[in-house]
Amino acid sequence: MPRFAAFLPLAYALGAFAQSVAYTDPNTGIDFMSFQDSDTGARFSVATPETLDTDFIGQIVAPTTEGWAGLDLSAQMANHILVVAWPDGDKVMSSVREATGYTTPPVYTGNVTTTPIANGTFVNSTHFSYTFVCNGCITGESDSFPNTVKGNAFGWAYSSDAPAKPSAADTALNMHSGFGAFAIIFANSSSASYSTWASWAEAIVPAAVTPSNGTVGSTSTSGQNNTSTAPIATTLNTTYDYIIAGAGPAGIIVAERLAESGAEVLLLERGDASTHASGGRAVESWNETVTQYDVPAMAYYLSTAGVTNEYCTDTADQAGCLLGGSSMINALMFVRPQERDFDDKWPTGWKWSDVSASAESFYERNPGTISPSKDGQRYDQGAYDVLSTFFTSNGWTSVNALEEPNKKTDVFSHPPWNIQDGLRAGPVLTYLPLAKSKKNFHVQLNSTVIRAVRESSFVTGVEVELQDGSRQIINVKTGGKVVLAGGALSTPRILINSGIGPADQIKTVQGGSVGVTLPEESEWIDLPVGKGLKDHPIVTLKFKTKSSLASLDTSAFTKPDQTNVDSFAQGSGLLVQGGQRLNFWSSVKGTDGIERFVQGTCNSPSNDTIKMKVYLTHGLTSTGEIGVTADGKTEYITQPWLNTDEDKEALASFVDRLIGFAQAENSTLTLDAGLTASSNVTGADLIKTFVTGSHYVGTAKMGEDDGRKGGAAVVDLDTKVYGTDNLFVVDASFHPDLPTGNTQAIVMVAAEAAAKKVAAVKVGSAPAASASSSAVVSSATATQAVSSSAAAVTSAPASASITSAPTSTSETATFTGTTAITSVAVPSPAYTEVPKWGRCGGIGYDGPTKCASGSSCKYQNDWYYQCL
């Protein structure tokens, strides 16, 4: 698995970070170079030998008796060694991880260990301390740093919330509530006493490692099960025409549009409510009628906000596990797709001419804005003024990114934000209220979908795990449909848990600890689930301004003054804006002849400083793959960033172009002082250090090339999973390509179009719902589960002074400018089994598809499937 980092000159690597200070630990007497965060009180310290080799002594001290803290071997955090520690009762637990992004870092697999120093390792009533020798940590590879450097920038992270299972060394970690970086010059941290101090370290027998999620799933006397014991699932009597698994941006849109037909729709969400109007209660101290997700200015600061449990802990990278999904935790970018985003690689029936009407329907409800303040003013515009001059002087053009989405070469714009009525927009604001007004729409929160329950090619329902660990099986009606909308990092897990995907991945589930009931192996559907993963890599550049530029402190957004609080209540001011100040786009023709697009988002994080985040976007050719782990997480099998030479060359050449702009005599910017210390720094150097975009697509790709026959597609042009009759995928998973901008807008446009496709598919009768023999039928549970969750969503009033969410005046809504969805489930004759050797599918065939016991429906040719 490749890792990426850059060993840049010391001035660049250390100059921009907080500096450490000399500190003698009173418990051990060890002399450290140390950094203490003033907000959290957490302290991180390092001591080194006079001649740096492979080891160092580290210390983590955190003012918590429940949370965790970590020392990362790079300020970049991701793809580097991370030592984490946390209290478990009266003892300290530790683990060596490898940070991969905004998700639980997996256990590090290299030859690195930590050995505690006893008198510096303890838990008391106010804090815990972990003092340790980091054995083999200086690897000389890109996951660490070489022993030839004179210093290093270390990262740190802290959370006051306890890990999921404190007694397990491999436990899932919740999102940090504080993080940062500090620099250490090794001449200052070295000591002749190092060998004496290191000799105090003594290995202890670690606590038994148990799975971090060992109760998910269910057991049955039928099917193929893995090794854990799981609760008995209760089968509900209430059934639905449509079950939507995942209330992210796509799931909410599909659910609302399908509910317009009068069909009974159940929307399932694994997380809790988000916005105040939806029932969320992570409110701001300065306004108890809005949550941290409502306030646009908080978008940059959610990872350190008062509540951070909205981030998934079991996905390969950052994802939102709450109502609205990742549309509730992203940075608000709303880049309408250019026509090429669909026309270049989307299949027949999904070109721009096919989806443009759906796009307009979506934009009518959720248009986005470049000027969100009700008073018509823009605030904190110093960075825009500097940057607009910078780009204009180099021949670039100012555009309105919302009105001119096809202009994506050498242009800049005020940021296009997903903001409406002074609040974070998206389907929770613009679609969910319409759905909630319909009696045939139901939502159930805190319900994790484990798998689709299927009988051969028919999906009869889903199995969910509730917050208390209990299980439910919820079935669809005759002719009903299940739509997976968990996102590109979670939907693959549901498919694999349902016996759909690469055989090796299904076998991982089969032999794992999560308790999933799989179909018989003869019923597995071999599709390339998880393959073809794409994402935007992001390179961050810093520049200094030649003229004075005042930057607002973080507290202006997280602890606003009364003037800004009052303005927000009127839908105006600084707090109704996102964090970006200018966006830009361009393109680069690759050596392979492919045009690759580039996006930039810019702001001013400190005085006289500009930060540019440069994304490689539409046209990139790098791909990766995700899979599942034995304990139920998704992980990278192959990372998807910059793994083709042409992608590297394209991004490097564009960064070189920006460097050239800054070197021009009339430039308003100069490269960061650390960079100018080395005249040889190039784009090729800088792209070695990047972060993920968390804009994942393609893990259940749509196409005509059926994956069962060697193609790359998991779903067909109706988004129906190949080999199934009534299972669909509608989220970023099915997107066959990356867009030019952030994925938020295109995911919702595609969901609008997909809703029509799903509704139009005719489905025959399923076999009688047959939950596993461990299931118990209960109608009361159904009523309680659905109605109580719905109440949580509808009971919270919105703030009239700041909220103007769309409402519906009738029980039914129609598509604006498009044909309304009118089809529901289509009944057909009673389902019968096909005997062995009989026909069970193919072009023109509309008979039964379930094969008799001992056989399964196999592809012979496009016209003929046979029970074999």
- Domain end: 747, 764, 794, which one? 794
Do residues 287 and 566 touch, judged by C-beta distance below 8 A?
no
The residues pairing with 517 across neighbouring beta strands, listed in sequence order, are 225
Same domain, 236 and 374: no
Residue 234 lies in a domain: yes
Give the integer Cα–Cα distance in Å for 261 and 256.
Answer: 9
Give the integer Cα–Cα distance in Å for 802 and 429.
Answer: 13
Do residues 400 and 413 touch, judged by C-beta distance below 8 A?
yes
Same domain, 104 and 236: no
Residue type, 328: M
pLDDT single digits (tens) 80-105? 999 999 999 999 999 999 976 666 78
Q: What angle do CA 700, 703, 705 make, to 5 degrees?
A: 105
| Total count of domains within the chain | 4
pTM (predicted TM-score): 0.77
Residue 331 lies in a domain: no
Residue type, 698: G
Decide: helix, strand or coil at residue 609.
strand
Same domain, 132 and 33: yes
Q: What is the mean pLDDT of residues 72-84?
A: 87
pLDDT single digits (tens) 758-768? 999 999 765 54
Distances in Å between the Cα of 524 and the Cα atoms of 457, 488, 793 are: 10, 21, 37
Q: What is the mean pLDDT of residues 661-673?
A: 89
Same domain, 44 and 144: yes
What pLDDT score was predicted for residue 814?
A: 32
Give the list of residues 6+ apart from residue 791 with CB closer than 8 angstroms, or none: none
Do residues 177 and 34 touch, judged by C-beta distance below 8 A?
no
pLDDT single digits (tens) 321-362? 999 999 999 999 999 999 999 999 999 999 999 999 999 999
What pLDDT score was predicted for residue 79?
A: 80
Tokens representing residue 627 in the block: 């899979």
Same domain, 148 and 260: no
Same domain, 410 and 270: no
Do the bridges between strand 265-268 and strand 21-24 make them parallel or antiparallel, or are there none, so unpaired?
A: unpaired
Segments forming the whole domain that contains residue 722: 224-294+425-533+697-794
Tokens representing residue 667 in the block: 């430039």
Give the integer Cα–Cα distance in Å for 481 and 27.
Answer: 63
Residue 808 lies in a domain: no
Residue 161 lies in a domain: yes
Whether the pLDDT of residue 868 is over 50: the answer is yes
Tokens representing residue 316 in the block: 């390969």
What pLDDT score was predicted for residue 242?
A: 99
pLDDT single digits (tens) 487-508? 999 999 999 999 999 999 999 9
Task: Give the residue among 46, 301, 67, 312 at the shortest CA–CA distance from 181.
Answer: 46
Same domain, 721 and 748: yes
Report percent pLDDT > 70 for the chain.
84
The residues pairing with 122 across neighbouring beta strands, listed in sequence order, are 129
Same domain, 252 and 357: no
Same domain, 646 and 742: no
Report percent pLDDT > 90 for the chain.
72
Mean residue pLDDT of the chain comes to 87
Give the integer Cα–Cα distance in Å for 773 and 771.
Answer: 6
Residue 805 lies in a domain: no
Task: Read off the CATH number of the domain in which 429 is found.
Answer: 3.50.50.60
Q: What angle do CA 470, 732, 252 make, to 5 degrees?
A: 60
Give the integer Cα–Cα distance in Å for 597 and 620.
Answer: 8
What pLDDT score was predicted for residue 411?
A: 99
Task: Read off the CATH number of the domain in which 108 is found.
Answer: 2.60.40.1210
Residue 412 lies in a domain: yes
What pLDDT score was predicted for residue 835?
A: 79
H helices present in 732-799, as ranges: 744-760, 779-794
Do residues 235 and 769 touch, judged by C-beta distance below 8 A?
yes
Same domain, 407 and 510: no
Same domain, 507 and 592: no
Residue 558 lies in a domain: yes
Q: 832: how many CB neighbours lie within 10 A of its CB?
A: 12
Do residues 46 and 33 touch, judged by C-beta distance below 8 A?
yes
What pLDDT score was predicted for residue 646?
A: 98
Whether the pLDDT of residue 691 is over 70: the answer is yes
Give the integer Cα–Cα distance in Å for 640 and 643.
Answer: 7
Do residues 245 and 484 touch, judged by C-beta distance below 8 A?
yes
Residue 315 lies in a domain: no
Same domain, 678 and 722: no
Task: Read off the CATH number of the domain in which 686 is found.
Answer: 3.30.410.10
Distances in Å between the Cα of 131 and the Cα atoms of 30, 56, 239 are: 10, 11, 56
